[in-house]
Structures are given as structure tokens and as C-alpha cells.
Amino acid sequence: MNNKIILTGDRPTGRLHLGHYVGSLKNRVRLQNEGAFDKMFVMIADAQALTDNFACPKKVQDNLYEVAIDYLSVGIDPEKVTMFIQSEVPELTELTFYYMNLVNVSRLQRNPTVKTEIKQKDFEQSIPAGFLCYPVSQTADITAFKANIVPVGEDQMPMIEQANEIVHTFNRIYGETLVECCAVLANSKLEQRLPGLDGNAKMSKSLGNCIYLSDSPEEVKKKVMSMYTDPGHIKVEDEGKVEGNMVFTYLDVFSNDELIKKYSDYDSLEEMKEHYRKGGLGDVKIKNVLYNILEEMLLPIREKRKYYEEHLDEVKEILKRGTVDARKVAGQTLKEVKEAIGINYFD
């Protein structure tokens, strides 16, 4: 048996942005459309989102539909993919409890992503136990569906590593039951970690340097016009730097020669860069090219979003259907896990 099962998800703590798009969403849609899999799941990780937002559940609740709509807008197709809500699959919580025995606290504290988040969230003095254990719950998410392919952003690599450790430990102690998984990352370093509009290392909601998939054309324009370029490039005639210039960085990610030809007077991005380096090409011009290219990509996403915003009942139905489907699969794995441990008393 060599099934190909894909599972991935996001915490609903905010709307999704261009960083999510190039870092993972695009990959998911590609995998979905290639169709070379037995089953594909996309999960909205609301329970995980509560591990650091337990005091503001409204934020999680408000963003659940935002993320679901973002998924549908970028082209996740509920006919091909099972879309579901984590907290509605209690089997995941039950698995988490048994997996918690298989990892120790110091290993959890060493997880690099968890470590960074503990600093960011000022949890150093007192780490909520639930938060520290979220990689265990993520292991449950992955293994409950016997997923072997997990398309994620590169910050999730430590979760995959930790999940596989738990899988090994489980299988060693209780016998071959769980399946190991592999991450699928975006192709380039730039896509894996799209920098922020301000040139900051990462596009992130907390840094306020994002373009959201749901931004209006006016918002996108305003944000593109505020992007970090080359502070030494003051007059149009000045020589300009391309490296570290966010407009060119984004053009590297989002454009191709065809789009450059369509929206500028150049035949290629290289030619445009050359002109900027030499001097004589102004920032407003390059920003307009980027804006038009981003708009071409965002327009259909925005149209789909509008449709789903007006048909929330449909979104709810999709999630309900997906959750029923997900529970069946997770329930089967839970049964196997309990059998392996030997706590299936009434079977």
C-alpha cells in the first residue's frame, strides 16, 4: 500500500496574505489540480490557534470564515479537497493525549519555531502547557489522516520533524501503526519566506507589512507605493540598487517576461533592472508595474471572495461536509491507535 495523502492547515488568527500565497497556498492548489493523490485535506486549525489566543477566542472565531474564504478564493476546490475545522474533530484531541506521553518537555522547549514564538508572545515567564504541546496536537492532525505529504511554510519544518519522532516512538513501543510524513516547501527561498513590504525578513501580520489576498485595489496600490526601495535613489536620474529593493524582489517572485512586456516598456525583468541600475527609471514607474502585475493575480481571487462572502451558507456547508468526512477517517485511525496500545476494552 502506497497511498499519497496530503494534509495541511493554517491557524485562523488573521486573513491570509501574499506570503502565505507564495509560501504554501499556491503549492496546495497545484497539488490539488495535478490530482496525483488519493486524498487531500485542508484543515482550519482553530484549536491550535487557541493555544496562544485562549484569552481572545473571538479573534479565532472571527477569522475562521476569513481563512475558509481565502482558501476557496485562491482555488481550493471542495470537490477535490476535504476542508474541515480542527475543533470539530474531537478524535484529534484524544490522539494528542496519548501522544503527549511520547515526548518530553525539554524536547518541546527545544522546538525552534516554538522557541521563537515563546519569545514573540512574551511567554518566557510562564508558558501555557497547551501552547508548549501544540506540536503534539499537530502530530495528531497529520497522523490521524495517515498523511505522508504536508505542504507548509518553511517555519513548519520543526513540526514535521517532531511529528516523525513521535511516529517512530509510537511504532517502536506499540507496533507499526502510524505513518511518517514529508513536508513540501515552495520552490525558492524567496517564496518560502517572502519579505515584508518594508524590507523586513518576513511578511507577517504582527509586523504590519503585508498585502492581504482580500485587500481592495486601493489598499494594494497604497501599500505598493509605500514599499521599501533604495533610499539612495532620490532623483530619477540617480543610479539605483536592485538588491534589497522590495519592488524588484517582488517582481522576481510575481512576474515573468510576459507580464513585464504587458505592463512595462521592457522585454524582460533583467532589462528593467539594468535601466534602474544605470539611473533614469523612477520608483513610481516600477511600483506601477508591480501593482498591475499583482492586480492581475489578485482580481480573480477577489471576485471569488466576493461570491463566497455573499454565500456564507455555502461555505458553512462545505466545512460541515468536510468535517463529517474528516471525522470518519480520524475515527478509524483512533481505533487503530487504541488497539495498538491495548485500550480497546469493549471491542
Q: Which stretch binds ligand TRP (CB under 6 A): 4-12, 122-130, 164-172, 309-317?
A: 4-12
CB of 22 to ligand TRP, least distance (A): 15
Quick one: cell of 338? 487504541
Options 152, 194, 197, 211; binder of ligand TRP; rule CB under 6 A: 152
Pick the closer one to ligand TRP by CB: 9 or 78. Answer: 9
Assess 9 for contact with ligand TRP (CB under 6 A): yes
Q: Which stretch binds ligand TRP (CB under 6 A): 68-76, 149-157, 209-217, 220-228?
A: 149-157
**What letter represents residue 263's amino acid?**
Y
CB of 67 to ligand TRP, least distance (A): 10
Pick the closer one to ligand TRP by CB: 114 or 293. Answer: 114
- C-alpha atoms less than 13 angstroms from C-alpha of 180 in its C-beta half-sphere: 9
Options 45, 76, 114, 260; binder of ligand TRP; rule CB under 6 A: 45
* Cα–Cα distance list, 151 to 138, 160, 187, 243, 306 (Å): 14, 10, 11, 29, 27
* Cα–Cα distance list, 297 to 22, 69, 113, 194, 199 (Å): 12, 17, 31, 16, 22
Assess 70 for contact with ligand TRP (CB under 6 A): no
Assess 11 for contact with ligand TRP (CB under 6 A): yes
Options 7, 50, 69, 318; binder of ligand TRP; rule CB under 6 A: 7
101-140 residues near ligand TRP, rule: CB under 6 A: 138
Residue whose C-alpha is closest to residue 184's, from 345, 8, 41, 62: 8
Residue 212 has what DSSP assignment?
B
Assess 48 for contact with ligand TRP (CB under 6 A): yes
Work out whether strand 5-10 and strand 82-85 pair parallel, antiparallel, or are unpaired: unpaired
Q: Where are the alpha helices (DSSP H) in 100-255?
A: 105-110, 112-120, 129-132, 134-144, 157-174, 189-192, 217-225, 246-254
Q: Which residues bind ligand TRP (CB under 6 A)?
A: 7-11, 45, 48, 138, 141-142, 150, 152, 156
